[in-house]
Chains A and B, each alone.
Chain A
Amino acid sequence: MDNLSNYVLISAILFSLGLFGVITRRNGVAVLMGVELILNSANVNFLAFARFGGMNMSGHVYALFVIVLAAAEAAVALAIIINIFNNFRTINVDDVSELKQ
């Protein structure tokens, strides 16, 4: 727990799992969950380097902005997904390839 490499390793695993989710999932909401995992892993890295790498508090501010971005992104993405569902009756991201009906 007093070792930077542990945190970097955990965040690497979180990032890879999020990437796996983004690649394999077909449901739009599940893809969004993978993106959230990736953003969380980035935040763990920011804070780990803030504690060990001498970034001081700037890392905390960056992590705060990442959380704000994630909130805005989740709100808009889910609104788009719900709209897609209302138009196509599916949220399978591979089936939604038309730009207009």
Chain B
Amino acid sequence: MYRDFGTILFLVFMGIVLIYAPLVIQKLLAPNDPNADKLATYECGEESEGSAWVQFNIRFYVVALIFLIFDVEVVFLFPWAVVFNELGLLAFVEMGIFLLILMLGLAYVWRRSDLDWVKYNVKYGRGRYSNLYKKSQTIKGS
């Protein structure tokens, strides 16, 4: 086992070396003559404004959260898949119950539209935004 993971360790070290070796080489070879324009943040030629520390949208967190829960679910699938042939129907039923319970969670977040990036069920339903609401419904339906 150590030999297999030793290969991975070697790969990790090679990754670090291959990242840092060119950086060190260019530090040694490249001429160094900085001025304010050169040190400015490159933003496709535009003048950069504001700080990069904008507060994230909370939807990133919700998506990461859903990912984490189903990530853990997948972890349980690996040992199950390895012994599936051996245990047969029993393993199938047990994992079926497990997946069904988690499927309830998936149905819940799907129904509450946590999976949609753009949420259409905000209050556009009446007044001057009513046609916007209809448009969103047709987009959702198509």
Contact = CB atoms under 8 A, between A and B. Distances in A.
Interface of A: 64, 67-68, 71-72, 74-75, 78-79, 82
B77 interface: no
Majority secondary structure, A binding face = helix
Which secondary structure characterizes the binding site on chain B?
A: helix
Contacts of B75: 64, 67-68
B47 to A, nearest CB: 31
A67 B69 CA distance: 12
B14 interface: no
Nearest to A71: B72
**Tier of interface size on chain B:** under 10
Contacts of A67: 72, 75
B109 interface: no
B65 A75 contact: yes
A82 B68 contact: no
A72 B102 CA distance: 13
B58 interface: yes
Nearest to A75: B65
